[in-house]
Structure 1
Amino acid sequence: MYAFDYERPSAVDAAVALLRSVEEPKVLAGGQTLLPTLKQRLAQPGTLVDLARIPGLSAIERRGEGLSIGAMARHAAVATSPLVREAIPALAELAGMIGDPAVRNRGTLGGSIANNDPTADYPAACLALGATIITSARQLAADDFFTGLFETALAEDELVLAVEFPLPARAGYAKFRNPASRYAMAGVFIAQGADGIRVAVTGAGQGGVFRWTAAEEALAADFRVESLADIALDADDIMSDLHGSADYRTHLVKIMAKHAMVAALR
């Protein structure tokens, strides 16, 4: 691990000021992605800016016809929250599938989406539910927030503060876990809401999380598991690595989509 300075601001404005003033800053939320990269010397920040002391960033609240979850909300808190379980059960189930108990009690919603790991779970929920990401500077639709592999629309001095999820009429999530890391080798989140059907895929795309428009169109015509039977997915856009080929992951996506539909229709 390389040497770095450590700052723990107690307000959002102070954290943003640090991001603008120090050299090579890196934001620390839950640390479940960042800390391993530091230990392996894959990252060399000049200053770690720890958000743990900033009040109000872990709140989970109902707001009108939506659900607001703070960026520092732990996965375990989302998984067990009565509010989440009542409003969006599929989101609580997704949070409960992340990693193991140690990861769920340290990892955060904001850290997950800001990192935009192509195998992370929350990006699929944000995209399928049509969430809005609230930052220290603006509001971003999930469709505009995730821009590529490990990339988002966040500026260097911008922090994720919360995510606002519209309440769906029905939703379901299913993933095939990597047996070692428990990251998604293929995960599919399906939501039926005011804007229609949205289907998001994580763990499989070469460019990270993406919407599967062919599945959306088929389910919009007939919201049944059987509607997914013959839907095409181009393997050329699917990730291939030592854990699974593109053809294998393509098959997994189709299977997980059917499981997600079963969950949505429960």
Structure 2
Amino acid sequence: MIPPAFEYTRPESVDEALRALAEAGDEAKVLAGGQSLLPLLRMRLAFPELLVDVGRIPQLRGVREDGDTLVIGALTTHHEVIRDPLVRRHAGLLAAATETVADPAVRHRGTLGGSLAHADPAGDLPAVALALDAELVAAGPGGRRTIPARDFFTDYFQSALAPDELLVEVRLPKTDGWDFHYEKFHRVAQAWAIVGVAALVRRDGGRIAEARIGLGNMGSTPLRATAAERALIGAEDPQDVARAAGQAAEGTRPAQDVSASPEYRAHLARVLTRRAVLTAIGAG
């Protein structure tokens, strides 16, 4: 299909991009890698009057350390995230989950910031951001503000970003020494996950001392499986993990659609949480 007509601008700095967004108001869309936005345009599910292409802004790329925090530019591609030694060392869950995103072509063009700002609850990386306790930094006319991942996703394809704001970086607490695994179920290769589970656990003396479980496609936003997280504390063997994982769907509101019923998604959340945690601790 042919997308609707729109104006196009390609700023060369964050300030220039913010001016363009401010002038266009609600009628602008940010174009990063384009792997989520372009299909929406072609299917005429989005009708922006202006596309602000931020793909040539160098300040939005790259990975760096800031003490105990890893800082990733919003325009850093999935491929760059996967290969970056700092990400692999200090945020292994992000690298592992990003390796499962779509296909190599998409991973070379799609960006971390674009995926998060798209706010698709079926996406892989929003649930990972929740599990990692990420913070997302937005730039706007009033300066920069930091938004915890738990507050960033507000509804289907909606985030806390204002129309005149731009996501500029993602900040991740380092998780050295944590065990992790990303597990998802999809019907065919490259399809959206029917349910995705991002598991991050810290053990002490062979027992789980802390757990973070991010769920994808179990509601209108990515969610944390807080009941299962609490139940996993003290878990030592597969039976303990299985009992805790049985609480993974508590507090969720999975959708009914052509892919699955709410009941089936709840079942998948329990099964995939068990698999993800057992694999993370080497017992899967």
TM superposition score category, shorter chain reference: over 0.9
Question: Which moves more between the two structures, 39-48 or 220-229?
Answer: 220-229
What residue is the counterpart of 1:265 in the other structure? 281
- For 1:180 and 1:171, how far apart are their aligned partners in 2? 22
Residues 49-58 or 62-71, more deviating: 62-71
Cα distance, 1:111 vs. partner? 0.7
Q: Which residue, 81, 92, 95 being the options, matches 1:78?
A: 81
Q: Name stretches of at least 5 consecutive residues in structure 1 with no aligned partner.
A: none
Match of 1:167 among 163, 174, 178: 174
1:156 aligns with 2:166: no
**Of 11, 26, 30, which residue of structure 1 is paired with 2:33?**
30
Kindly indicate whether the alpha-carbon contact (under 8 Å) linking 1:173 and 1:259 is maintained by their aligned counterparts in 2: no
**TM-score normalised by the chain length of structure 1:** 0.93
Range that drifts further, 174-183 or 137-146: 174-183
RMSD: 2.0
Mapping of residues 189-208 of structure 1, within 5 Å: 189-192=198-201, 196-203=210-217, 205-208=218-221
Tell me the TM-score normalized by structure 2. 0.87
Matching residue within 116, 119, 122 for 1:119: 122
Distance 1:108 1:90 in 2: 17
Deviations 1:37-86 (A, max 9, x none): 11111111100000111112121122221211110111111112222112
Deviation (angstroms), 1:234: 4.6
Tell me if structure 2 keeps the 8 A contact 1:173–1:263: no
Contact kept in structure 1, 2:8 and 2:52, CA below 8 Å: yes
- Aligned in 2, Cα 1:190/1:47: closer, same or farther, shift over 3 Å? same
Partner of 1:182: 191
Q: Distance in 2 between matches of 1:235 and 1:54?
A: 40
Choose from 18, 41, 48 the match for 2:20.
Answer: 18
CA distance in 2, matches of 1:237, 1:183: 18
Cα pair 1:171 1:191 within 8 Å, conserved: yes
Tell me the equivalent position of 1:215. 228
Q: Secondary structure at the match of 1:22?
A: helix
Cα displacement (A) at 1:214: 1.0
Matched, 1:87 2:94: no
Distance (whole Å) between structure 2 residues aligned to residue 220 and residue 149 of structure 1: 31
Query: Is 1:143 aligned with 2:150?
Result: yes
Structure 1 residues 225 and 26, CA, compared in 2 at 3 Å: closer, same or farther?
A: farther
Equivalent residue for 1:99, pick from 102, 107, 116 = 102
Which consecutive residues of structure 2, in runs of 5 or more, have no partner in the other structure? 204-208
Cα displacement (A) at 1:135: 1.2
Which residue identity lines up with residue 215 of structure 1 in the other structure? A
Percent identity reads 40
Tell me the CA shift for residue 88 of structure 1.
2.1
Structure 2: which amino acid aligns with 1:2? P
Write the deviation string for residues 164-201 of structure 1: whole angstroms up to 9, x where unpaired: 11122232211112416422111111223699422110
Check 1:149–1:226 CA distance in 2 against 1; reply closer, same or farther (3 A cut).
farther
Q: Distance in 1 between matches of 2:66 and 2:94?
A: 16
Count of residue pairs brought into register by the alignment: 265
Tell me which residue corresponds to 1:60: 63
